[in-house]
Structure 1
Amino acid sequence: MEVFNFVFATFLMLFIGSSSDEVTRGGRREATTSTACPCSDPALCKVISTPPRKEVFAFWIGGSTWKHFDWTQLTTIVMLNRHDPKLMCFAHSKGVRVVSMGVLPAASLSSISSRSNWIMDRVNDVIGEHLDGINIDIEYPLKQSEAHLLKDFMSELTKTFHLSIPNSQVTFDVAWSPNCVDDRCYDYKGIAESCDFVFIMAYAEQSQIYGPCIAMANAPYNKTIKGIRGYLDIGISPDKLVLGVSWGGLDYVCQNMSKDNVCSIIHVPFRGAPCSDVPSKGRSYAFMMSHLKISTSGRLYNATYASPYFNYKIGSKRQIRQAWYDDPPSLTLRYEYAKRTKLRGVGIWNADSLDYSQDPEAKKDTKAMWDAVKYFLKN
């Protein structure tokens, strides 16, 4: 019966089109028409139909900063916390896709009917908001014996979206490595093959630390490259991979600071590891730039990690802190690697992290961050 319900729901979507009638089953809405187009030009409410291209995939977490993004480079924007019709209209005027974000509850994964109901609700949302697809961010632990459930869900989701909304885009966020990071033992190859492409979250790579319990780069270059190679080695096509980087970093409290700028941090176990980056605070690039100005060390650089960092003191007790981040030079190395490896694209978590004010120094820093992306796009 569950299989029939899913097939029936998909069948309904194929024939609803622009009908003004609501179709219901079991008291719930199966599909809706679009809401009135909020754009000055109704054509801007159409789904972007641009064929596959080099991707610059960015997340927007809210606010009005999107007005200052470099729209000449972007191809897809994920609206994380809320939908903004003005952003959608503007992005579509630039040929940029705008997609929603979805997280299927873990309890629904094993139920075909729950999955299909959830998928239909998301289709309704995307149609109603005149969006171009959906990005799935699922990060809960999963045993290898359960991996097929997530793969099946993504296959169902992609087929339903592609049939219901022609030219729609379906993507999935994956860990920095396919090797069961944080017990996420997913069928990454199956997921990548089932959707349009996957977004590699090549940041927060210190969730489990087995070596010295010290502050380290958010995304060490050598570790990031190892993760990308891991996806390629399991047979995922480069054209299915988008390298996501962080436009920010991690800020640690130092228990001790050596003369070589090694910052010892408090031991906080995580998923079996004796140490982790849990005690750190995520910071935006704007924060990093403002605090670099008051640092006690100036910009330092770790060649192994290919990442900059700095030390600073804060508060009445002059607490010593160490901040690791990525900037245009370090990001350029990562963008160039993505280009050499012929990946589908690069991605940004998140595009709101820059200082978009009119301050001359901030404008210079912001422009440099956007300009670095061009190293991936240029011929």
Structure 2
Amino acid sequence: MVSCSFVHTCICIVTVQVWLLLLISGVGESGTPPQIKQAPCPCHDHNQCRRLPASSTKDKEAIVFTNASSDFTKWDWKSVTTVIATADSDNQTVQQLMCYAHHEKTKFGFQVDPLPHLDDFNTTSNDTQNWMRKIAQTRLDLRADMVVVDLVDIFHSEDVDLKALIKLLHHVKDSISPTSSIEKTPVTLTCVVPWKPPCVQNDCSFSQLAKKTCDLFLLSPGSYLYLKGYGCKARATIPATKMALGVDEYAVRGVHEDKIILGVPWHGYEYSCAKHSPDSEICLLNEVKINNNTNDTKCEVDKRVKISLGDMITKHFHYFKKSKTDLAYKAPYYTYHDNASTAYKQVWFENAQSLRHKYQYAHDFGLKGVGIYTAEDLSQTLSSRVEGFNGGMWNWILHGIIQQQVTQPPPTKYHSDTVAGIAIGCMILGIVLGIVFMVILFRVRAKKKIDRPFRKDAMDEYHDDEDLNL
């Protein structure tokens, strides 16, 4: 007969062996990396390593992205609520940026590296485990308040397993969540998505992604490049009509407006014109065949060149001052002749007026805020002209507009189902009114006194025409 103490000892040994195997493999029950150790505080003042307290859900966001190459001590920090570093987290400047941001009472975050394999969302694979472990380690070391995951390329791939992606992001969210009793402020997981929600495997709903993983959705300003049937010509980085359509579509598919961040660029794009019409100011671009065996073509929009506002002002100040505004796109542009390439080039960008329109839209429709790309678009060039422009440009955030509370209901948005319902309602109302009017008309005719038959004919036959005798 086996004693109880021996059985208990065996159970303990087996439990320890299983625990060691899980520790070696680096996988827990939830698929998340094991517990990791936080690096020492890199700030001179250790208070700057303390994450900020949770903000109110009603507070609006003015998020600024940066690669940490500009002098962040000269920024107008009063206009910024969160700064996101896109550079490598091992960069010492990124650590200094975190310390300075917390010193300015501004939240700090970082954008994670893309997945090793876009089509492999297996949470137990070594690549995915290492990827999640790095995110968790960086979040701890940088005392980050926000983690940004760029999903634009994933959603533009041909085949995406949405359920597997949601499961993976759920594990990422678990891995960045505070585990100690000292850290009580939750970490915000922000997902960068295309300007319009794509249908993934015939699933167009984003409600599960919003409920289980992403706290905020930032609409990528660079994703407007993916436009079909839009004409092969230079155009605004963010057409105003497409911006409104994208927000509307996300709202229809389960993402509430107060979880949407509107991404806006402070830079512009330069297009090389294959043909240029001076009268209409249209810059036509090259079209190339997608496949030599077919007649399908694509527009070479991807060959546009990014240009900062500093470079625009320094190199093209004459054209910049005389820029025109497209009323449909609500965006400025200018055209110039490049003597080096003997070709016309057209530059589309954002100015104070076009940005004001976007900020006002974010406010009026109750969006969470705006995400600005990037701080370096102001500070790359150090000419005296640009330095004088920088001070005014930081005011372009117009955070006062974003932070204003909506005192009146936002403008009515007509979703596709709403429009269809209104149309059907109008049709039914028209039918009912038509029947009512017909009934009233028949009742009036029924009550009317009927004259004697042929009475009118008899009256017409009788006449006293004495003139005939003349």
TM-score, normalised via structure 1 length: 0.84
Cα distance change of structure 1 residues 282 and 270 upon mapping to structure 2, 3 Å threshold: farther
Q: Distance in 2 between matches of 1:172 and 1:303?
A: 31
Deviations 1:250-278 (A, max 9, x none): 10111121121101111146797622511
Which of 269, 287, 292 is matched with 2:311 structurally? 287
Cα shift at 1:371: 1.6
Change (3 A) 1:106 1:25: same
Q: Is the 8 A contact 2:135 2:176 kept in 1?
A: no
SS of match in other structure, 2:78: coil
Find the counterpart in structure 2 of residue 26 from structure 1.
25
The one-letter amino acid paired with 1:124 is Q
Matched residue, 1:225: 244
Structure 2 counterpart of 1:377, one-letter code? Q
Aligned equivalents of 2:333, 2:262: Cα separation in 1: 22
CA-to-partner distance for each residue in 1:142-187, whole Å, 9 max, x for gaps? 4576111112222222233224364222111011111359x99875
Pairing 1:30-49 to 2, within 5 Å after superposition: 30-49=34-53
C-alpha separation between the residues in 2 aligned to 1:184 and 1:87? 42
**Contact 1:241–1:344 under 8 Å retained in 2:** yes
For the 8 Å contact 2:265–2:374, the answer to whether it is kept is yes
**Which deviations, in whole Å up to 9, do the C-alpha atoms of 1:187-231 show, x marking residues without a partner?**
533223322211111344133342431111111111111111111
1:93 partner letter = H
CA contact (8 A) 2:237 2:269 kept: yes
Give, in whole Å, the separation in 2 of the partners of 1:187 and 1:156: 21
Q: 1:186 to 1:111 in 2, by over 3 A?
A: farther
The question of 1:344 aligning with 2:368 is answered yes
Q: Shift of residue 63 of structure 1?
A: 1.1
Alpha-carbon distance change, 79 to 121 in structure 1, aligned in 2, over 3 angstroms: same
Name the counterpart of 1:328.
352
The equivalent of 1:7 in structure 2 is none
Offset from partner CA, 1:276-307 (integer Å, 9 cap, x none): 51121122222233344143992011000000
Q: Look up the SS of the partner of 2:232 in the other structure.
A: coil
The equivalent residue for 1:302 is 326
Higher helix share: 2
Secondary structure at the aligned position of 1:354 is classed as: helix
The answer to whether structure 1 residue 266 and structure 2 residue 255 are counterparts is no
Instruction: Note if 1:160 corresponds to 2:171.
Output: no
Gaps of 5+ in 2: 1-18, 28-32, 406-470
| Corresponding residue of 2:10 | none
**1-side partners of 2:210 and 2:198: how far apart?**
15
2:145 corresponds to which residue?
Answer: 132
Q: Partner of 2:117 in structure 1? A: 106
Q: Is the 8 A contact 1:77 1:97 kept in 2?
A: yes
CA shift digits 1:314-368 (9 cap, x unpaired): 2434321000011111010000000001111111111211137675542443233
Change (3 A) 1:303 1:99: same
Distance 1:210 1:357, change over 3 A: closer
Structure (1/2) with the larger strand percentage: 1
Does 2:260 correspond to 1:241?
Answer: yes
Structure 1 residue matching 2:261: 3-state secondary structure: strand
Identity score, percent? 22
Moved more, 317-326 or 97-106: 97-106
For residues 70 and 273 of structure 1, the distance between their equivalents in structure 2, rounded to whole angstroms, comes to: 46
Tell me the CA shift for residue 133 of structure 1.
Answer: 3.6
Shift in Å, 1:24: 5.0
Secondary structure at the counterpart of residue 245 of structure 2:
helix
Which residue does the alignment assign to 1:71? 77
Q: Is residue 142–residue 184 contact of structure 1 (8 Å, CA) maintained in 2?
A: no
In structure 2, distance between residues paired with 1:262 and 1:297: 19
Counting matched residue pairs gives 357
Give the aligned partner of residue 100 of structure 2: 90
SS at match of 1:229: helix
Equivalent-residue separation in structure 1 for 2:349 and 2:202 (angstroms): 25
Contact 2:336 2:344 in 1 (8 A): yes
Q: Give the AA of the match of 1:136.
A: V
Distance 1:351 1:184 in 2: 38
Q: Is the 8 A contact 2:41 2:141 kept in 1?
A: no
User: CA contact under 8 A between 2:363 and 2:404: conserved in structure 1?
Assistant: no
CA distance in 2, matches of 1:205, 1:273: 19
Distance 1:49 1:98 in 2: 12
Secondary structure of 1:274 counterpart: strand
Please give the per-residue CA displacement for 1:5-50, whole angstroms capped at 9, x wherever unaligned: xxxxxxx9xxxxxxxxxx9523798343222212121111122223
Residue by residue over 1:111-137, the C-alpha shift from the partner in whole angstroms, topping out at 9 and shown as x without a partner, is 121345532331112212333341101
Residue 170 of structure 1 aligns to which amino acid in structure 2?
L
Secondary structure of the equivalent of 1:30? coil
Give the C-alpha shift of residue 59 in structure 1. 0.9
Which SS does the other structure have where 1:89 is aligned? helix
- Say which SS state the counterpart of residue 173 (structure 1) adopts: strand
Compared CA separation, residues 270 and 329, structure 1 to 2 (3 A): farther
Aligned position for 1:377: 403
The verdict on how the C-alpha distance between 1:263 and 1:148 changes in structure 2, with shifts beyond 3 A counting, is same
Separation in 2, partners of 1:260, 1:297: 20
Alignment pair present for 1:354 and 2:353: no
Q: Whose Rg is larger?
A: 2
Distance 1:252 1:184, change over 3 A: farther
Asked if 2 retains the 8 angstrom alpha-carbon contact of 1:60 and 1:77, the reply is: yes
Alignment check: 8 A CA contact 1:209 1:273 kept: no
Q: What letter corresponds to residue 105 of structure 2 in structure 1? A: G
Deviation at 1:97, TM superposition (A): 1.8
After superposition, the CA RMSD in angstroms is 3.0
Q: Is the 8 A contact 1:297 1:310 kept in 2?
A: no
Contact 1:295 1:313 in 2 (8 A): no
